[in-house]
Amino acid sequence: MRIKINLQIFIFAIIFYLTKQIRIYTILMIFAFIHELGHLVTGIILGLKVKSINIMPFGISINFEDYSNKYIMKKMIIASAGPIVNLIIVILGMCNNWEEDIIYANMLIGMFNLIPLYPLDGGRILKYIIQITSNAKEADIITYKLSNILIIILTIISSIGILLIQNIGIVLILGYLWMLVIQENKKYRLKMKIYKIISENDKLLPVNT
């Protein structure tokens, strides 16, 4: 298992400290960690092995070993586990009069991760559903197109929010999302090249009669 810490996390912490938002950033990171523990524990219970853990500016990313399509349902359950953990915390917080920042932080983390933008949980769930009903290539194409459309829409909405609220946190989150989308776009283009090579090789194979 590989553990990687993105050094940008320290830059983000300094920015939030200087803008006097370090408390809410700390709360978000704590519950983002708990969110990922939901993924981790669920994955281990379902028998999947952890490949890597990445500590990033707005949370932690856990990657499991790549398995065949027969494990898609397990992956879907794992992807759903994080937001479910946040939902449970929100319900407990509202029932027990917990601090509002804790409730709002978990609502934000849960809803943010359910955005159908890959590789967020919502994007993963959508991709697995498409794989079940179609195939891996079709799932890659749809999630790629939807992610790029959504990031543009989110950029427009966030730009309005930045003008109204003037909160640097929105800028940082948006920049982080763009970084994720750009990275996934590179992977997508590589996958499409691989699909093309496989398709061309299949056409060259002799047909047995």
Report the amino acid identity of residue 79: A
- pLDDT of 107 over the 60 cut: yes
Taking Cα atoms as reference points, which of 75, 149, 87 lies closest to residue 114? 87
Would strands 59-64 and 50-56 be described as parallel, antiparallel, or unpaired? antiparallel
What's the token pair of residue 145? 């197109």
Which of 114, 145, 171 terminates a domain? The answer is 114
Burial code (b: 16+ CB inside 10 Å, e: under 16) for 30-49 equals: ebbebbbebbbebbeeeebe
* 8 A C-beta contact, residue 15 and residue 41: no
> Are 108 and 120 members of one domain?
no
Q: Which of 33, 44, 188 is nearest to 123 (CA)?
A: 188
> Which CA distances in Å does 72 have to 88, 126, 127, 129?
24, 11, 10, 8
What mean pLDDT comes out for the span 20-28? 83
pLDDT, tens only, 150-189: 999 999 988 887 777 777 777 878 888 898 899 999 999 9
- Shared domain for 101 and 127, answered yes or no, is no
Q: Do 100 and 158 belong to one domain? A: no
What is the C-alpha to C-alpha distance for residues 157 and 171, in angstroms, rounded to an integer? 12
Comparing 13-17, 51-55, 113-117, 203-207, the range with the smallest average pLDDT is 203-207
Alpha helices for the chain (secondary structure H)? 8-18, 22-45, 72-95, 100-113, 121-133, 136-165, 168-204
Tens of pLDDT, residue by residue over 30-89, are: 898 899 889 889 988 988 888 878 777 767 777 777 655 667 888 899 999 999 999 999
Q: Which domain holds residue 193?
A: 116-209
Domain co-membership, 56 together with 93: yes
Question: Do 35 and 50 fall within a single domain?
Answer: yes
Same domain, 202 and 190: yes
Q: What is the pTM of this model?
A: 0.81
Which of 62, 79, 114 finishes a domain? 114
Together in a domain, 103 and 162: no
- Judgement on whether residues 15 and 61 belong to the same structural domain of the protein: yes
